[in-house]
Structure 1
Amino acid sequence: MARTLKDLMPGERAKVAKVEGRGAVRRRIMDMGLVPGVEVEVERYAPLGDPLEIKIKGYHLSLRLEEAAYVMVEEGGDNA
């Protein structure tokens, strides 16, 4: 079963497997550091569920769930 970044629960860690989508959205996501092989950890979801906050490469990043759906993840983080 393929999982996306938006499917992870707070505290879960995973590695980015690939970034789907086309054009500007895909480029923007990858420019923020979400590239294959990098480990991410979900910190929290906003009170209304969107956006989500992740920790990546020592910094915090907020993504809309719509954008997080483009990021395919695989188990492989320290706590995955």
Structure 2
Amino acid sequence: MVLQSSGKTRGLVTLDMLPPGARARVVRIDAGVRAVRRIMEMGLTPGTVIEVVMSYGGPILVRVRGSVIAIGRGIARKILVEPL
């Protein structure tokens, strides 16, 4: 399942490519139905602004809607974002 908020792909990167301190807007989730549901339940819906708190080796810590969540790198590779 592909969930999109925009048809544009220019300038997009996957969440795992952002450095600590970077802010971005979620644009698209390229994953299966279960993974999309799980990602959206964590608050990562298209249009949401996120900030990478930590990204050194293991899971990526991301600030979403005032909460910090850990996202595995495999899932982060399925989340396309537009750096701000």
Shorter-chain TM-score bucket reads 0.7 to 0.9
Percent identity between the two aligned chains: 34
Number of residues paired by the alignment? 74
Note the 1:11-50 alignment, pairs <5 A.
Answer: 11-46=21-56, 49-50=57-58
1:64 aligned partner: 72
Give 1:31 shift: 1.0
Give SS of 1:14's match.
Answer: strand
TM-score normalized with structure 1 length: 0.86
Q: Which runs of 4+ in 1 moved over 3 A?
A: none
Any gaps of 5 or more consecutive residues in structure 2?
Answer: 1-10
Amino acid corresponding to residue 74 of structure 2 in structure 1: E
Give SS of 1:26's match.
Answer: helix
